[in-house]
Structure 1
Amino acid sequence: MNNTWQYSIAHQCVCQIIEAQNLWGESTCRVWLPERNTVVRVPLSMLQPLEDAGANSSGHIAYVAAAARVADALTQDVLLAPIESTVIPLPHQIRALTRAVEHDRVRYLLADEVGLGKTIEAGLILRELKLRGLARRILVIAPKGLATQWVSEMQFHFGETFQLVLPEDVKTLKRIAPDSLQNKPSAGNHDRATIPANAWQMFSQVVAPMDSVKPMDKRRGWSAAQVGEFNRERFDDLISAGWDLVIVDEAHRLGGSTDQVARFKLGKGLSEAAPYLLLLSATPHQGKTDAFHRLVSLLDADEFPDISSVTRDKVQPYVIRTEKRQAIDADGNPLFKPRRTELASVSWEARHDAQRRLYEAVTAYAREGYNQAMMEKRNYIGFLMILMQRLVVSSTAAIRTTLERRLEALVAPQEQMSLFPEFSEDEWADLDGQEQIEMLLQSRFKALKNERAEVKLLLDAAAGCEQIGPDAKAEALLDWLYRLQSEEGDPDLKALVFTEFVPTQEMLRQFLTERGFSVVCLNGSMGMEERKRVQEDFAGDARILISTDAGGEGLNLQFCHVVINYDIPWNPMRLEQRIGRVDRIGQTHVVRAVNFVFEDSVEYRVREVLETKLAIIFEEFGIDKTGDVLDSAQAGKLFDEMYVEAILNPDRVTESVEAAVARLEEQTREARTGASILGEAGNLDPGEAQRLMTHPLPYWVERMTVSYLTANGGKAEKKKHGWRLEWPDGETLRNVVFSGKEADQRPGSLHLTLEEPKVRGLAMRLPRLAPGQPIPIVSIPGLSEEIQGVWSLWRIAIASMEWNRRRIMPLFLADNGMVYVPTAKRIWDLMLSADAEVGAMWDMDLAMQAHEKMHEAAEEHGRPIYEELVREHRNRISREREKADYAFAARRRNIEKIGLPQVRNYRLNLLDQEEHDLKEQLDRKAQAYPELTPLLMIRVEGNRE
């Protein structure tokens, strides 16, 4: 009985008996389970002959044929996410996904330009990893203004539920967990009975704002213990929560100005927290090579040990980038429409004389206050003065509201005011004007000389202006709305209006509503549900959406093509980001952008000179390349300084602008040189997306699952709204569909994919064909009756210490002794669409001979496949050796700079030992072993019909 093959009922697979034993009336066997590569003991009663195991039924044959095709698709890097999704990816998104999953190490910088859908690309990669069973716990880190957008986009486009964790939620996660754990299973939430000690482990898919989880070194008024507790709850526990995939949006913010900056420390922690890492940034290289080096070192510290390692050849394998000018749709047409931008000068008529005087008075107040603040080294007062200037340009309501609050602060007891919070330069630049003014007005500032009286006078003047009538800009906005409505030939034209400040937003809402417009508003104080409701209203009946910069972050408004910048932010990149809310994938109109500015104002003179100068730079470098520099805290500071200089010295506007632009041009030149290391993306294939959308994988998964159940004691019934499936263990699923298209068409259905462990197991644990197993004689509908011979499926694999690769090979040995590869593939295709009719079992002697001949043929025809797998493995090891050699050489150069011989020699010895150990480990990993496993064998006698 030893060495014979049987079927283990307990394990539902073939096994080989190693030893049989009868002791005290109990018969047991030690058997080898090849599918699990383990030896177990089972009762003899749980074993049955192979011919009685049902392994030769039509259902079993269909299951193995379909499961092998699914397994082969997985080994051939077929993209699962687009096939299983309702999202139709564009060519550049397909290329991004292909690049991301072509290697085992999924750690990339997604650097597409603004508006190309990096969030969709990240979502596709996320889904791909989940469908392949490689990721379950996922963390998204994004700037505060984009966090809610990530939650909604993942839900809308991919059906993925993420838990948004805000700073105030961290301490209350355990309290809110029972309610939140009712989310649907795809969110990967834990059972409510098991609440972990680490609060970040309560949810398997989390979005958190970047600055709420970064570590801190100190905080004003806090003890070291308080700082330590803060870091443990927000940073240490987050990093140690066991993530499979970490995604960081606006990742260039992690580069920091030094390696001690909190955001870079956060980046280091995140890079070590998960095997898979995606960094998203449209502007990864902002002309600062050291910051870019820190960013790419998060992807692979060994590949980028120092700045000199940041070369084009080394960086390109880690960067996935598409430029707007390259982007095409599925038909090969340019993805983006042209854009029309114009400067709208707003004049002060006689009736606006009081507004003109208010503007001039606030400008003088801001100028004098700023000079005084700088003399007294009170920078925050300087910031406040500059914001006063921006407020008066925005609206009378905005300056009046702020003056009221400033006056309240000046007359209030000093102890009632809070300290100004600690902010880095990057964090301050991230805030929009409304958020900055809120921070400043809540802080404890002493008054400037005579400031209380001056603020009182300005406040009276502002109140008087509001009583006289509407602002000049508000009237201009109304004129422009009617003009655009006429020019575009659309009486229901929608417009997105941007302002920096909430009081201006509220004034415009009232002004336009009173004149018959349907208006909705967005700002940074709104929660996720409120933001969603506003966007839905704008997509519906609302004509005008008025948004602040913080409110507009993450918006996708392709159904609107008119943007009016009621206030012009000082950094031109903010304008670009605003217009990008409508100039996105799916926009079908020429985008109209109108920028308002007062005539005869400092801002107008600055814009006049600046736009001319910037046009020259854009012509030379391109707006997209210049955008790398413009979208940085460094550029924000440059433009702030330029405007301040113009306000302080209005007679020297041209000189101020030219000096700033010269610095910008220099930075852009440096950035272009640096950004060249990102490389060129190459041409895009417009047809790949459509090919993927029609891929038969969902049908293969359906046939695999249904055939398995019918062959193994389960049930599968096709109902009106989908399948009713009953697994052999009794679990029942209703309204099951297998394609994303069906799931979209049938709300409430259960979309079953390879993400489900049971379904995935059907493909990954293919049953093995045992030597001597009976071979059924079958006929296959659609196959010519002249085709007679033995058809089989083989798994060819290579196994090493850390790397396993496999391929599935069909083989057909005709009765004339010839092997026909095309016929083998044809038979496999037919078996996926029609049930084979099983007749008698083939003669055992002939079957044994067929086993031997097929094994010989499989060895011969499988050798090229095996050799390809070996080449892939050796190339992988070679890349690891090259990277290790480079990293050790860089570290050795740094150690050799140490002056003290004893320290230098000690560290060199440690490095030598580390290098020796790694090389030994790579030598062990290089050893690989071939496997050739039969999966299915049938005698084909054509179609008997």
Structure 2
Amino acid sequence: MDEQDLVDIEVTHDNAEDIVDSYSSGVSDFSFHRQTVVANRLLVGQPDTELRSLSHVDEEQVKLLEHQVDAAYRALFEMDGKALLADEVGLGKTIEVGMILKEMHYRETNDSVLILTPAQLAKQWQAEMREKFGLEFVCNYDSEFGGFDAHDYIIASIDTAKSDRFRHTVLAREWDVLVLDEAHYVKNEETDRYDLIDKLTYDYAFFLTATPIQNELTDLYNIVSLLRPGLFGSRDTFHHYFVNRNQKTLVNRDELQNRLGQVMIRNRREDADIDFTDRIIDTRTFEPSAAEMDLYNSVSDYVREAYSQDQGQKLVLMLLQKEVVSSPAALEQTIRMQLEERNELTHRDELRTILEKIEAIDTVTKQERLFDIVEEARVHVDMGRVIVFTQFRPTQREVIKALDKQGYTTHAFHGGHSSQEKEDIVERFEEKGGVLVSTDAMSEGRNLQFCNIMVNYDLPWNPMRVEQRIGRIHRIGQKREVYIFNMGLKNTIEEYVLDRLYHKIDLFQQTVGELSTILSRLEDSGRSFEDEIFERLVNAGSEVDLENDFDAMAVDLEEQKELAQKVQNFNSGVFEGFDLGPDDD
């Protein structure tokens, strides 16, 4: 092996000793010198019989689970410090990274660390690294943050890092360790996020995602190629060699599993040795008032008529159908916007009629019934903590206002808050209790195990979004039974979705992996779960037809579940221990 050969190879544990020996024999190229430094550091980090730093982790702060210890060990010592941690939601990928960084710190192999996360999770990462592992990071939202060249341990929003202001300094530095949370956000090679990660310089890297495949195998190819360039060859080679023409089954499974096994670790809830607490589902449907039912029927009639005339309005019409069962306030905002935007006479009279019917509602049934749930919590639960989820900001404001009038302690959480404000809101909720009313800005990444009661005030039509909400409280560290209350109005779309779809095939009790598999099979035709619901709603000729249509959809889902299981069994040779379902976003 000559000098140039040595410079061109990748440093691994297997070849580290050879590289060090060669350098000692007189090879002097500067690039090779850098590889020698990396090799020496890997040798310093060679495993003894266990992770040496574990004895220094405070057991009162974090309980290390077997699958987490195994993942950290494999990522460091079997994957040479470059791994895709792809555990299902709630299994503790952040803890695995904390263990990895703690061990590297103990062995003095991580002088500079950059952790990139979605903006809303940066402060949570900072707190977890400090409290559970004694690792101090500066966050880009801290007042003392002086830039990416001013600190050695940094946690930052990936969008901050790629911004024009900071991109140059981020890329100019050679990082020891890169951690990328929610790695599925860089699946598209045409984005600035992908380009940033592709151009970063680092020795070790750990990517985290519960959903390494969102739409197709190309997602997995792009993420893995950032982490281990060349592992799958070119994109065309990858598809030709591993995917059949219909892209519904895999070929050359043994080889694909072998390559994935070099870079990806995937633990599933059903396989992890964890006793999750029970999940208790309580669905409550209520008779709407006459005024509410009149409003619902008017909106539904309008949606059907408008859609039959202009299918290009689909997203707006779908929004109206969701808002009418959420709150009059949410519906009113969209109706007024529609009236302001429509200069032509089409449908203006119908929209004004809907607005009049909104104004005629003086009591909101869901608000009244929500009081029953939060009062039960105030009496029976420590500090009366309840999380209420809604999809709409106007609904959130009205619910907060109603609860305030009843004397409850309330907290609002939505995407308009800064990262620091979000941290403060969660901290106040934990300290003071009461009711946290949140939009779906809360539904990803947050750890809220100190609460065990959740209310779906309105219901997303995609069950993966519901599962993400539930995952905020039903996760590792939850010591109590979890209560999920679903609220719905009778004789509306909510009742059909709840009773005829979600409950008929027990979607509330499916694992994340099972849900993603069912939905991915359903959506192979290019139609989403929400599209299916909307199409059946607007095309039904009568209530009886609508009931039959939703019964048929439930049968379709059962068939998709069975078909998905057959495909999963077929591909089990490749994905044993791996479940690569789509994300819900």
Q: Under a length normalisation based on structure 1, what TM-score does the superposition of the two structures give?
A: 0.49
CA–CA separation in structure 2 for the residues paired with 1:207 and 1:491: 33
CA–CA separation in structure 2 for the residues paired with 1:249 and 1:675: 27
CA–CA separation in structure 2 for the residues paired with 1:612 and 1:131: 50
Change (3 A) 1:396 1:577: same
1:92 paired residue number: 67
CA–CA separation in structure 2 for the residues paired with 1:236 and 1:662: 52
Change (3 A) 1:140 1:628: farther
Change (3 A) 1:210 1:634: farther
CA–CA separation in structure 2 for the residues paired with 1:670 and 1:213: 40
AA in 2 matched with 1:98: Y
In structure 1, the residue corresponding to 2:84 is in which secondary structure? strand
CA–CA separation in structure 1 for the residues paired with 2:374 and 2:350: 37
The CA deviation string for residues 646-690 of structure 1, in whole angstroms up to 9 with x for no partner, is 221243432455556655765665466557634349xxxxxxxxx
Change (3 A) 1:536 1:637: farther
Change (3 A) 1:234 1:569: farther
Q: 1:244 aligns with which of 171, 176, 185?
A: 176
1:397 paired residue number: 329
1:625 paired residue number: 513
In structure 1, the residue corresponding to 2:68 is in which secondary structure? helix
**Pairing 1:450–2:346 present:** yes
The CA deviation string for residues 795-838 of structure 1, in whole angstroms up to 9 with x for no partner, is xxxxxxxxxxxxxxxxxxxxxxxxxxxxxxxxxxxxxxxxxxxx
Change (3 A) 1:675 1:526: farther
Q: Is the 8 A contact 2:464 2:512 kept in 1?
A: no
**Pairing 1:639–2:568 present:** no
1:325 paired residue number: 270
Return 5+ residue gaps in structure 2 as ranges: 1-22, 26-42, 243-254, 579-585
1:125 paired residue number: 100
Q: Is the 8 A contact 2:46 2:77 kept in 1?
A: no
In structure 2, the residue corresponding to 1:323 is in which secondary structure? coil
In structure 2, the residue corresponding to 1:201 is in which secondary structure? coil
Q: 1:342 aligns with which of 282, 301, 313?
A: 282
**Pairing 1:384–2:316 present:** yes
2:18 paired residue number: none
**Pairing 1:460–2:356 present:** yes
CA–CA separation in structure 2 for the residues paired with 1:212 and 1:447: 40
Q: Is the 8 A contact 1:111 1:282 kept in 2?
A: yes
Change (3 A) 1:576 1:357: same
Change (3 A) 1:96 1:345: same
Q: 2:203 aligns with which of 260, 265, 275?
A: 275
In structure 2, the residue corresponding to 1:134 is in which secondary structure? coil
Q: Is the 8 A contact 1:81 1:125 kept in 2?
A: no
Q: Is the 8 A contact 1:625 1:668 kept in 2?
A: no
CA–CA separation in structure 2 for the residues paired with 1:680 and 1:73: 27
Change (3 A) 1:576 1:385: same
CA–CA separation in structure 2 for the residues paired with 1:125 and 1:90: 14
Change (3 A) 1:301 1:73: closer
Change (3 A) 1:248 1:629: farther
1:159 to partner: Cα distance: 4.3
Superposed, 1:151-550 pairs within 5 Å as: 151-165=126-140, 179-181=144-146, 200-210=148-158, 238-256=170-188, 260-262=189-191, 265-266=194-195, 269=198, 273-285=201-213, 288-305=216-233, 306-307=238-239, 308=241, 311-328=256-273, 334-348=274-288, 352-374=289-311, 378=312, 381-407=313-339, 409-410=340-341, 450-465=346-361, 468-469=362-363, 471-483=364-376, 489-490=380-381, 492-550=383-441
Q: Does 455-464 or 119-128 show the bigger shift?
A: 455-464
1:74 to partner: Cα distance: 6.5
1:243 to partner: Cα distance: 2.3
The CA deviation string for residues 5-41 of structure 1, in whole angstroms up to 9 with x for no partner, is xxxxxxxxxxxxxxxxxxxxxxxxxxxxxxx999xxx
Q: Is the 8 A contact 1:518 1:544 kept in 2?
A: yes
Return 5+ residue gaps in structure 1 as ranges: 1-35, 39-70, 167-175, 182-198, 215-229, 329-333, 411-445, 682-945
Change (3 A) 1:340 1:584: same
Q: Is the 8 A contact 2:377 2:385 kept in 1?
A: no
What percent identity do the matched residue pairs reach?
A: 28
Change (3 A) 1:247 1:634: farther
1:115 to partner: Cα distance: 0.9
1:473 to partner: Cα distance: 0.9
In structure 2, the residue corresponding to 1:535 is in which secondary structure? helix
Between structure 1 and structure 2, the one with the greater Rg is: 1
Q: Is the 8 A contact 2:502 2:508 kept in 1?
A: no
Q: Is the 8 A contact 1:142 1:250 kept in 2?
A: yes
**Matched residue pairs, number?**
511
2:467 paired residue number: 576
1:82 paired residue number: 54
AA in 2 matched with 1:476: R
Structure with the higher fraction of residues in strand conformation: 1
Change (3 A) 1:448 1:163: farther
Change (3 A) 1:587 1:594: same
CA–CA separation in structure 2 for the residues paired with 1:296 and 1:358: 51
CA–CA separation in structure 2 for the residues paired with 1:163 and 1:278: 19
In structure 1, the residue corresponding to 2:436 is in which secondary structure? strand
Q: Is the 8 A contact 2:429 2:436 kept in 1?
A: yes
Q: Is the 8 A contact 2:123 2:423 kept in 1?
A: no
Q: Under a length normalisation based on structure 2, what TM-score does the superposition of the two structures give?
A: 0.76
1:316 to partner: Cα distance: 2.0
The CA deviation string for residues 354-398 of structure 1, in whole angstroms up to 9 with x for no partner, is 111112222233333344442xxx4xx432221122111111122
The CA deviation string for residues 313-346 of structure 1, in whole angstroms up to 9 with x for no partner, is 2212322232223444xxxxx4311211132212
